[in-house]
Amino acid sequence: MAELATIARPYAEAIFQATHGRTGEASLEAISQSLDALAAIARDPQVRSLAGDPQLSPDRLAALMVSAMPQQPSTAVRNMLQVVLENRRLAALPDIAEQFHQLKDAAQHCVEAVISSAFELDQAQLDALLPALERKFGRKLYPRVEVDPSLIGGVRVTVGDEVLDTSVRARLDSMRIALTA
């Protein structure tokens, strides 16, 4: 929903700016994990119904949400959660987490690479493929592997709006076009 993305942007930018200059990448990762945990909690129907309860204060709801987290969040995350709840923006938490990830990735010159393969890739194959892809795309990549049997063999890598397709399916399509032209 575009409206939630618009609502989430200032919160994501604020927590990123508040933490990026003062902390290292490890702390950005910890904040990212905390935001993911809060986003998962915010998606829970019981939590959403609690947020609508006029007898439950934002302070109490924040305390309940923090207690449900696997590890205690930083002060910056707690403060952001408090402001989000005071402004009745619980539904925006998943979008805040997503936009924070985008800001973090841009600052670290890192981007997700969707690697589609006809067969499951083991860790050794992925470890061999990733450095070559990072050189090709010129940035640090974190992979997300998907299995797509229609590729027949090879891989198709999507990084942002760039696609590198070395699959058998792409080669067959290329040969078909050349033969019919």
| pLDDT category of residue 101 using cuts at 50, 70 and 90 | very high
Based on the fold, state whether residues 42 and 120 are members of the same structural domain.
no
Domain boundary among 54, 88, 106: 106
In terms of residue numbers, what domain contains 171? 109-180
- pLDDT above 90: percentage of residues in the chain: 79
Based on the fold, state whether residues 18 and 48 are members of the same structural domain.
yes
The amino acid occupying position 49 is: S
Interatomic CA distance for residues 139 and 142, integer angstroms:
10
Based on the fold, state whether residues 131 and 47 are members of the same structural domain.
no
Identify which of 151, 141, 162 has the alpha carbon closest to the alpha carbon of residue 116: 151
In contact, 125 and 103? CB cutoff 8 Å: no
The vertex-155 CA angle with 154 and 157, nearest 5°, equals 160
Interatomic CA distance for residues 163 and 157, integer angstroms:
6
Average pLDDT across the chain, whole number: 91
Structure-model confidence comparison of residues 163 and 23, the more confident one: 163
Buried (b) or exposed (e) across 162-181, using 16+ Cβ within 10 A?
eebbebebbeeeeeeeeeee
* Domain containing residue 83: CATH number: 1.10.520.20
Q: Mean pLDDT across the stretch 129-155?
A: 93
Helix (H/G/I), strand (E/B), else coil: 68: coil
Based on the fold, state whether residues 176 and 140 are members of the same structural domain.
yes
Based on the fold, state whether residues 100 and 145 are members of the same structural domain.
no
Strand order in the sheet with 140-147: 140-147, 110-117, 155-159, 162-165
Based on the fold, state whether residues 101 and 122 are members of the same structural domain.
no
In contact, 154 and 118? CB cutoff 8 Å: yes
| pLDDT category of residue 165 using cuts at 50, 70 and 90 | very high
* Domain containing residue 125: CATH number: 3.40.30
Based on the fold, state whether residues 92 and 16 are members of the same structural domain.
yes
